[in-house]
Amino acid sequence: MTHIQLPISKSIANRVLLLQALSGTPLMDVSDPAVPDDVRLMHDALEAIANGADEINVENCGTAMRFLTAYCAQLQGRKVLINCSDRMKKRPIAQLVNALITCGADIWYENEVGFPPLRVHGKHLSAPVAVQTGQPLTIPIPESSQYVSALILIGINADANQSSPYIKMTRAICDMWKNGQYSIEEKDWSAASFWYEYVALHGGKLHLDGLTDSTLQGDRVLAEWFKRLGVYTTFEADGVTIEKKRRAIHLPYIINFANNPDLYPVMAITCRQLHVPLLAHGTTSQRIKESDRIESVKTKRTQGDHRMAMSLLAADLPCDDVECVRKSYPGFYEQLCQLRR
pLDDT for 132 equals 65
Q: Is 89 left (phi over 0), alpha (psi -120 to 50) or beta?
A: alpha
Contact 327, 302 (CB under 8 A): no
pLDDT score recorded for residue 181 = 82
Contact 262, 188 (CB under 8 A): no
Spatial distance between the Cα atoms of 30 and 16, rounded to a whole number of angstroms: 13
9-178 and 189-340 share one fold: yes
What pLDDT is recorded for position 131? 66
Q: Are 205 and 230 in contact (CB under 8 A)?
A: no
Instruction: Give the class (CATH, top level) of 9-178.
Output: alpha beta
**According to the model, what pLDDT value does residue 127 have?**
80
CA-to-CA separations, 317 to 197, 198, 301, 336, in angstroms, rounded: 12, 12, 10, 13
Dihedral sign computed on CA atoms, order 153, 46, 128, 114: negative
Give residue limits of the domains in the chain.
Answer: 9-178, 189-340
Could you tell me the CATH superfamily of domain 189-340?
Enolpyruvate transferase domain (3.65.10.10)
Q: From first to last of its 341 residues, what are the pLDDT tens digits of the chain?
A: 899 999 999 999 999 999 999 999 999 999 999 999 999 999 999 999 999 999 999 999 999 999 999 999 999 999 999 999 999 999 999 999 999 999 999 999 999 999 999 999 999 998 886 666 778 899 999 999 999 999 999 999 999 988 899 999 999 999 999 988 888 889 999 999 999 999 999 999 999 999 999 999 999 999 999 999 999 999 999 999 999 999 999 999 999 999 999 999 999 999 999 999 999 999 999 999 999 999 999 999 999 999 999 999 999 999 999 999 999 999 999 999 999 88
Task: Note if the bond before 117 is cis, omega within 30 degrees.
Answer: yes
Rounded Cα–Cα distance for residues 161 and 168 (Å): 13
In this prediction the pTM is: 0.95
